[in-house]
Amino acid sequence: MIDTLDIEITPTSQSRLSQVDFDNLPFGKVFADHMLIAKYENGAWSRASIQPFGDISLSPATSMIHYGQSIFEGLKAFKSESNDILIFRPEENWKRMNASAVRMCMPEVPKEIFLGGLRQLIALDRNWVPNNSESALYIRPFLFATDAMLGVRPSETYTFMIITAPVGPYYVKPLHLKIETEFTRAALGGVGSAKAAGNYGAAMYPAMMAQKQGIDQLIWTDAKEHKYLEEAGTMNMMVVIDDTLITPPLKSTILPGITRKSFLELTKEAGFKVEERPVSAVEVIEAIQSGTLKELFGVGTAATTAQVEKLTFEGKTYDLPSNAHRVISNSIGQKLLRIKKGIDPDTHGWNMTL
Ligand SMILES: *Cc1c(COP(=O)(O)O)cnc(C)c1O
């Protein structure tokens, strides 16, 4: 029934669309005309509404600010050549948001509000979906605690919102990453597999320290031994050694990426070997030295496929094979993008079409 969801819509009287330079989009700074908002109180969700994008007002005691019950999602909508709007695997984002909600002791968002609200919001702002090649409408659903109280306990009231932003590519150049062996992103049993706001705040200081040395981002390693690779910044990471694609297995320290999952499926279908198993820093460095490491890259909605050209480990920097020879990441990355944009047939039923 998500098409007929009763949502109160207040359209903007002044669209900002004509002021946007779609050929020069900074990531996440320009927002579409409308936003969705729904509130949870007394154990129930209120009717959702769509309003002009704008500021919201909160008590300074809002518990999300003090204790961090705040989670988010990220997905993209593309415009096809026939002017359809294609949203990539939104149901997966809905499920993952609710998994994050459970871990953070927050209420789950009903499907009608998340997917039905998304549908109506994007339909209203469909002219904000860019159609040039690397661009998309980035969609940011989020849920946060709103009780105005300083006691440390789960909030009883929450707000769910969706805002959207037309975006170009996230990383424009191949990356220089460092394998981090001092700081930790996530520990077993923690919240690394939830898209919880605090995870990103906690990663900023270590990333900034590396950026001062000219490094773009970190590859996080396991909290216990700092031996095994986990994630590359806010992307899942993949390596190709010989002719096998290898990625760390999912556990409580790794965000279960929808790009990761889709990429693995397409790679298997294309007939390449895929392994989900622990990968150590030492294994990667030895593979670089022996010439068996063919590709190293990150995958995620924002970045799509981000190639890594330099890798720093224990103070030494290694050059990786050039982009031109990266068969798996280039072919599967292109394939995925072609499905998302409606160029190749969507045989998996991944796209929601508007
Ligand atoms: C969002 C995110 C990813 C990528 O997930 P996608 O669903 O592919 O966008 C990977 N790692 C972290 C830490 C993330 O926050």
Q: How far is the CA of 150 from the centre of ligand 1 (A)?
A: 31
Domain check: are 190 and 313 in the same one?
yes
Q: What's the mean pLDDT in 211-225?
A: 97
Predicted confidence (pLDDT) at residue 3 exceeds the cutoff of 60: no
Q: How would residue 324 be classed by pLDDT, with cut points 50, 70 and 90?
A: confident
Q: What's the mean pLDDT in 262-290?
A: 98
Domain check: are 91 and 180 in the same one?
no
Domain check: are 23 and 133 in the same one?
yes
Q: What's the mean pLDDT in 119-146?
A: 94
Q: Which atom of ligand 1 is nearest to the CA of 231?
A: 11
CATH number for the domain that contains residue 329: 3.20.10.10
Q: How would residue 315 be classed by pLDDT, with cut points 50, 70 and 90?
A: very high
What percent of the chain has a predicted confidence (pLDDT) above 70?
A: 98
Residue 353 lies in a domain: no
Cα-Cα-Cα-Cα dihedral sign, residues 185, 190, 193, 194:
negative
pLDDT at 2: 53
Residue 346 lies in a domain: no
Of all protein residues, the one whose alpha carbon is nearest to atom 10 of ligand 1 is 235
Query: Which of the two residues, 299 and 2, has the higher pLDDT score?
Result: 299
Residue 233 lies in a domain: yes
Q: What's the mean pLDDT in 12-26?
A: 93
pLDDT at 5: 66
Of 169, 203, 222, the residue at which a domain comes to its end is 169
Domain check: are 154 and 250 in the same one?
no
Cα-Cα-Cα-Cα dihedral sign, residues 191, 197, 200, 203:
negative
Residue 157 lies in a domain: yes
The total number of structural domains in the chain stands at: 2
pLDDT at 134: 76
Residue 348 lies in a domain: no
Of 169, 202, 237, the residue at which a domain comes to its end is 169
Q: What's the mean pLDDT in 254-261?
A: 98
Predicted confidence (pLDDT) at residue 147 exceeds the cutoff of 80: yes
Q: How would residue 169 be classed by pLDDT, with cut points 50, 70 and 90?
A: confident
Q: How far is the CA of 99 from the centre of ligand 1 (A)?
A: 14
Domain check: are 231 and 183 in the same one?
yes
Domain check: are 13 and 84 in the same one?
yes
pLDDT at 301: 94
Q: How far is the CA of 255 from the centre of ligand 1 (A)?
A: 6
CATH number for the domain that contains residue 95: 3.30.470.10
Maximum alpha-carbon separation in the chain: 63
Q: How far is the CA of 43 from the centre of ligand 1 (A)?
A: 30
Average the pLDDT over each of 3-17, 68-82, 119-133, 272-286 and give the range with the smallest value: 3-17
pLDDT at 240: 98
Is residue 110 within 8 A of residue 5, CB to CB? The reply is no
Q: What's the mean pLDDT in 112-129?
A: 97
Domain check: are 182 and 272 in the same one?
yes
Q: How far is the CA of 148 from the centre of ligand 1 (A)?
A: 31
Q: How would residue 326 be classed by pLDDT, with cut points 50, 70 and 90?
A: very high
Domain check: are 206 and 140 in the same one?
no
Domain check: are 149 and 99 in the same one?
yes
Average pLDDT over all residues of the chain: 95
Mutate to test the pocket of ligand 1, among 97, 229, 255, 264 (most ligand atoms within 8 A of CB): 255
Q: What's the mean pLDDT in 138-165?
A: 98
Of 169, 194, 224, the residue at which a domain comes to its end is 169
For residue 218, give every residue at least 6 positions away whose Cβ sits within 8 Å of its Cβ, in sequence order, or none.
177, 178, 179, 180, 183, 203, 206, 207, 210, 232, 233
Q: How would residue 216 be classed by pLDDT, with cut points 50, 70 and 90?
A: very high
Per the structure, the complete domain to which residue 320 belongs is given by: 175-340
Residue (of 155, 166, 152, 137) closest to 71 by Cα position: 155
Q: How would residue 273 be classed by pLDDT, with cut points 50, 70 and 90?
A: very high
Q: How would residue 105 be classed by pLDDT, with cut points 50, 70 and 90?
A: very high
Q: What's the mean pLDDT in 270-281?
A: 98
Long-range contacts of 261-269 (CB under 8 A, 24+ apart): 261/92, 262/89, 262/336, 262/350, 263/238, 263/299, 263/332, 263/333, 263/336, 265/348, 266/332, 266/335, 266/336, 267/328, 267/332
Of all protein residues, the one whose alpha carbon is nearest to atom 13 of ligand 1 is 234
Domain check: are 194 and 130 in the same one?
no
Residue 82 lies in a domain: yes
d(CA 181, CA 229): 10
Q: What's the mean pLDDT in 218-232?
A: 98
Domain check: are 296 and 202 in the same one?
yes
Residue 351 lies in a domain: no
pLDDT at 286: 98
Predicted confidence (pLDDT) at residue 133 exceeds the cutoff of 80: no
Of all protein residues, the one whose alpha carbon is nearest to atom 6 of ligand 1 is 257
Residue 345 lies in a domain: no
Domain check: are 188 and 141 in the same one?
no
Q: Which atom of ligand 1 is nearest to the CA of 195?
A: 15
pLDDT at 4: 54
